[in-house]
Amino acid sequence: MTEGEQTRTASAVVVGVDGSDGAKEALRWALAEARLRKAPLRIIHAWTYAYLGAATGGYGYLGGFDSSSAISVDNSELQREAEELVDHLIADVAGDVNDVEVERQVIDGSPAEVLVGAVIAGDLLVVGSRGHGGFAGLLLGSVSQQCVHHAPCPVVVVPRPPTSAT
């Protein structure tokens, strides 16, 4: 157990977001669930500077480095852009949320590892079924699949929104 896990005892609804349509659906679902449970909502966006030529590492993530600091990249601009993405996502999906305690975290790291490491047994982890990467034909994305297999708490995988038949 990490220090943060030892000091935090209240259960939270934790949602992983990446700006995709699936993440927007997951955020909507997580917000509604946090309201029902009267629980805090933690919105987590994990990002990393991926060097695609490196060996596979972590929970199947194609990046090779745990963070951009491993290859001496100044990540302040990348961090700022990631924070802006989360701000826009919250504004787009949730608007002005006054009835739920919301915590926002933007973390440099592999998404599956960050999400699994951010939850404790009493939490509920919510992820979308598909994010930005991978193969569109798969039912689960690599991040949602890794969360289901490794998280120490229940995981809800919210299906992607139906596509319009236009």
Its pTM stands at 0.76
| 38: region left, alpha or beta (phi > 0 left; psi from -120 to 50 alpha) | left
Which pLDDT value is given to residue 71?
52
Confidence of residue 142 (pLDDT cuts 50, 70, 90): confident
- Count CA within 13 A, CB hemisphere, residue 9: 1
Q: Report yes or no: 29 and 158 within 8 Å, Cβ to Cβ.
A: yes
* pLDDT above 90 for 50: no
Span 126-140, average pLDDT: 62
* pLDDT above 60 for 20: yes
Q: Which domains, ranges and CATH numbers included, belong to the chain?
A: 10-158 (3.40.50.620)
Which pLDDT value is given to residue 120?
96
